[in-house]
């Protein structure tokens, strides 16, 4: 696979040329801001074009071509990239201080083109291991082959091939030929994995692995996928916003937008699986909260398709009842039925997926280079070099995951028949405040959900009353208030799995018993080949696609879809590191 890093993406002409060469291509483009989709020449790219919001946007165009659009200032973005790059195309503002970062990203023999480089940059690149010379072609194209240039290098200093000193800042072609020992190239992984758990986390992992050519055995203790946390009739999808654009906000933005792109690629919400991108209105709780919501929007100046303010008048019109404060409107948000999404993802796996359902995995044993997965009676269920624990609330049953600090949070959703005499509000979009209410689907309106600290699996009247009381706060009026007396006890209980920081765990599982003194995440010992996708808490719909993509990128040693700081925030080793740092 060829990895290209380009800080002058423009309208994408060089990307289109690189793609036309064929083969697997991973193209990373950095831009301070994205032009509107209409300005993008290529039709397929235009259709997948992200909204202009900060952060990393992974656009998977097909199994061969991936484009990462990294929105932000180059100097802030470069150190956040985790990739091994074969070719760089750099803009004139590239600073000498970045040379070392570029060298860290470069594979031995990587080519680099920079326009109008000054002498300081050439020296810095040379010191970092790049052999530089003045480019023959001021408009280096993706076809350039700087390996050939390496033989005529003039080293540092702005001289042309004849040794003449150059007056103006010329274009530079370079090749990375470091004399320092290089990291050993990672061998291609053996593309066989066992995934434990067929909820949102496991189904997404299976889908991304199979798309990358892996053979996957999916073990699930129920006869069907999505029978536990992912078994709700409707889940809501929307991003988080905050005034300081904190870590959960940035992560949820990347995950939400990636999920929307991936669902579009599958055929669309409501087409490929049950649901609707009907919009989500998140009402303010009171005047003060309305001001906080408005400030957050003003601070980040989001495109209106991402998030905008709906004032009280508009919000009242949307929900068909007077509401005093207005709220955030996420026009592309909505609801989806997780089981339907899981089925669609598993169907996309095709022949590469083997389902082993109605089977509980309880024991993992590393034998040679494989993990053996065994059941209650000790019988071997499956084996592979890679195992991914996506078993939600069941993760603690596996010894290697037992020390992860994951909590189970009970949640009860109330199901309200849309055609009952005392009918619930029939809304055109999802509305939420402390709770949510969905538009009707298959004759049911979902309202919920509670957060309880017990593990009672049975429906409770008290939880239903709590849901209905919150619903009455969202949609005022006698009709909704009457539901507290008329609605039959109906709904579903599930258990969210949450880490103390409420962020998912995506990556290699830490080896708790073998951990000594730890300073950094890189010191945390890991079980070889054992990974997890856990702790999706209340946002499994949006976490699942991006977390699976992150893990599969790690397994394949391909560029990561998120900033390094965000990848660290998701590392399953973070709790062990914190624990040891406190104790040291």
Q: Which residues contact ligand FAD by CB under 6 A?
A: 196-202, 219-222, 226-230, 232, 235-237, 338, 360-362, 390-394, 397, 411, 413, 448-449, 494-496, 536-542
Considering the complex, state which of residue 82 and residue 276 has its C-beta at the smaller distance from ligand FAD: 276
Q: Tell me how far, at minimum, the Cβ of 81 lies from ligand FAD, in Å.
A: 28
Contact 499, 409 (CB under 8 A): no
What's CA 398's distance to the chain center, in Å?
25
**CA 506/CA 503 separation, integer angstroms:** 9
In the complex, the smallest distance separating the C-beta of residue 355 from ligand FAD, rounded to whole angstroms, is 12
Nearest distance from residue 213's CB to ligand FAD, in Å?
23
Instruction: Write down the least CB distance from residue 495 to ligand FAD, Å.
Output: 6
Cα 541–Cα 542–Cα 544 angle in degrees, nearest 5: 75
| Separation CA 66–CA 49 (nearest Å) | 12
Q: What is the dihedral of CA 338, 340, 342, 345, to 10 degrees?
A: -130
When the beta carbons of 510 and 545 are compared against ligand FAD, the nearer one is 545
Of the pair 52, 391, the CB lying nearest ligand FAD is at 391
Question: Of 222 and 243, which CB lies nearer to ligand FAD in the complex structure?
Answer: 222
Residues found in the chain: 584
d(CA 392, CA 196): 9
**From the CB of 195, what's the least distance to ligand FAD, in Å?**
9
Sign of CA dihedral 387, 388, 393, 399: positive
* Cβ distance to ligand FAD smaller for residue 77 or 542: 542
Asked if residues 98 and 30 have their Cβ atoms less than 8 Å apart, the reply is no
Q: Which is nearer to ligand FAD, 80 or 282 (CB)?
A: 282
Least Cβ distance, residue 336 to ligand FAD (angstroms): 8
C-alpha 240/C-alpha 249 separation (Å) is 5
Sheet holding 430-432, edge to edge: 308-310, 327-330, 280-283, 430-432, 436-437, 444-448, 407-417, 491-498
Considering the complex, state which of residue 235 and residue 279 has its C-beta at the smaller distance from ligand FAD.
235
- The CB-of-455 to ligand FAD minimum distance in angstroms stands at 12
């Amino acid at each position: 696979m060829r990895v290209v890093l380009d800080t002058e993406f423009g309208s994408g002409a060089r990307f289109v040329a690189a793609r036309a060469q064929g083969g697997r291509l991973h193209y990373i483009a950095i831009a301070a801001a994205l032009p509107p989709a209409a300005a993008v020449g290529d039709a397929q790219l235009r259709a997948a074009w992200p909204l202009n919001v900060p952060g990393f946007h992974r656009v998977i165009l097909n199994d061969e071509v991936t484009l990462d659009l990294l929105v932000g200032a180059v100097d802030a973005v470069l150190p956040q990239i985790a990739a091994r790059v074969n070719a760089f195309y750099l803009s004139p503002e590239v600073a000498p201080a970045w040379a070392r970062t570029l060298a860290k990203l470069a594979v031995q023999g990587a080519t680099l083109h920079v326009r109008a480089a000054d002498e300081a940059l050439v020296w810095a690149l040379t010191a970092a291991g790049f052999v530089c010379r003045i480019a023959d072609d001021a408009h280096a194209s993706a076809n350039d082959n700087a390996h050939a240039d390496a033989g005529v290098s003039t080293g540092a200093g702005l001289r042309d091939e004849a040794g003449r000193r150059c007056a103006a800042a010329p274009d530079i072609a370079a090749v990375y030929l470091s004399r320092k020992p290089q990291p050993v190239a990672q061998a291609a992984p053996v593309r066989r994995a066992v995934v434990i758990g067929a909820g949102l986390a496991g189904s997404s992992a299976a889908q991304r692995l199979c798309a990358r050519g892996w053979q996957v055995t999916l073990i699930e203790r129920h006869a069907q996928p999505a029978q536990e946390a992912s078994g709700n009739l409707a889940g809501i999808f929307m991003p988080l916003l905050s005034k300081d654009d904190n870590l959960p906000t940035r992560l949820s933005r990347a995950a939400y937008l990636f999920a929307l792109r991936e669902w579009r690629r599958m055929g669309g919400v409501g087409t490929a699986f049950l649901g609707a991108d009907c919009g989500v209105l998140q009402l303010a709780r009171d005047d003060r909260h309305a001001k906080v919501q408005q400030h957050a929007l003003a601070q980040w100046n989001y495109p209106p398709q991402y998030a905008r303010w709906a004032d009280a008048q508009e919000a009242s019109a949307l929900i068909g009842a007077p509401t005093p404060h207005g709220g955030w409107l996420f026009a592309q948000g909505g609801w989806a039925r997780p089981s339907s999404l899981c089925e669609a993802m598993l169907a996309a796996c095709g022949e590469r997926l083997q389902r082993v359902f109605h089977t509980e995995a309880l024991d993992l044993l590393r034998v040679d280079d494989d993990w053996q997965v065994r059941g209650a009676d000790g019988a071997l269920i499956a084996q592979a070099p890679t195992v991914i624990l996506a078993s939600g609330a069941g993760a603690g049953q596996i010894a290697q995951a037992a020390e992860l600090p994951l909590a189970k949070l009970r949640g009860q959703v109330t199901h309200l028949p849309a055609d009952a005499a005392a009918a619930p509000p029939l809304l055109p979009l999802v509305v939420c405040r402390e709770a949510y209410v969905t538009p009707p689907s298959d004759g049911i309106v979902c309202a919920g959900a509670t957060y309880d600290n017990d593990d009672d699996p049975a429906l409770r009247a008290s939880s239903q009353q709590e849901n209905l009381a919150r619903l009455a706060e969202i949609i005022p009026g006698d009709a909704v208030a009457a539901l507290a007396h008329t609605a039959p006890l109906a709904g579903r209980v599930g258990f969210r799995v949450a880490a103390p920081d409420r962020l998912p765990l995506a990556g290699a599982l830490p080896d708790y018993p073998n951990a000594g003194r730890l300073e950094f995440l890189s010191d945390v010992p890991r079980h070889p080949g054992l990974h997890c996708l856990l702790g999706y808490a209340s946002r499994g719909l949006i976490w699942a696609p991006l977390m699976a993509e992150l893990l599969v990128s790690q397994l394949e040693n391909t560029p990561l879809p998120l900033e390094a700081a965000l990848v660290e925030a998701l590392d399953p080793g973070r709790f062990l590191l914190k624990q040891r740092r406190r104790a040291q």
